[in-house]
Amino acid sequence: MNSHSPEFKSALHVMPGVEGGHDGLPRQKTTDDKNAARDILRRDLKTQDYVEGILSGDRTRLARAITLIESNSPSHFSQAQDVLKAILPKTGGSIRIGVTGVPGAGKSTFIEALGSYLTGQGKRVAVLAVDPSSTVTGGSILGDKTRMERLAADPSAFIRPSPSGGALGGVARKTRETLLIFEAAGFDVVLVETVGVGQSETTVRSMVDFFLLVLVSGAGDELQGIKKGVVELADAILINKADGANIVQAQAARLEYERALHYLQPATEGWRTMAMTASALTMAGIPQVWEKIQSFVETTNLSGAFKKRRQIQERDWVRAIVESHLLERFYADKRIQQLLPILDSAVMKGEMPAATAAQTLLGAIK
Ligand SMILES: Nc1nc2c(ncn2[C@@H]2O[C@H](COP(=O)(O)OP(=O)(O)OP(=O)(O)O)[C@@H](O)[C@H]2O)c(=O)[nH]1
Ligand SMILES: [Mg+2]
> How do 157-160 and 125-130 pair as beta strands?
parallel
Interval 187-228: pLDDT, tens: 999 999 987 666 788 889 999 999 999 998 865 445 555 667
Whether 162 lines ligand 1, by a CB cut-off of 6 Å, is no
Residue of the CA atom closest to atom 9 of ligand 1:
106
Ligand having the closest approach to the CA of 196: 1
pTM for the model = 0.82
Spatial distance between the Cα atoms of 235 and 269, rounded to a whole number of angstroms = 10
Which CATH class name applies to 91-303? alpha beta
Whether 79 lines ligand 1, by a CB cut-off of 6 Å, is no
Decide: helix, strand or coil at residue 99.
Answer: strand
Interval 80-104: pLDDT, tens: 999 999 999 999 999 999 999 888 8
Spatial distance between the Cα atoms of 140 and 161, rounded to a whole number of angstroms = 9
Rounded alpha-carbon distances, angstroms, from residue 249 to 106, 217, 274, 362: 17, 6, 17, 55
What is the best residue among 109, 147, 201 to mutate for testing ligand 1's pocket, by most ligand atoms within 8 Å of CB? 109
- Contact, 67 vs 41, CB < 8 A? yes
What integer best gives the mean pLDDT of the chain? 83
Whether 120 lines ligand 1, by a CB cut-off of 6 Å, is no
Distance from residue 7's CA to the centre of ligand 1 (Å): 27
Residue of the CA atom closest to atom 13 of ligand 1:
106
List where CATH 3.40.50.300 sits in the chain.
91-303
Interval 219-260: pLDDT, tens: 544 555 566 788 889 999 999 999 999 999 999 999 989 998
Interval 119-176: pLDDT, tens: 999 999 999 988 665 444 444 444 555 578 889 899 999 998 776 655 666 778 888 9
Decide: helix, strand or coil at residue 300.
Answer: helix
List where CATH 1.20.5.170 sits in the chain.
12-90
Q: Which CATH architecture fits 12-90? A: Up-down Bundle (1.20)
Residue of the CA atom closest to atom 25 of ligand 1:
103
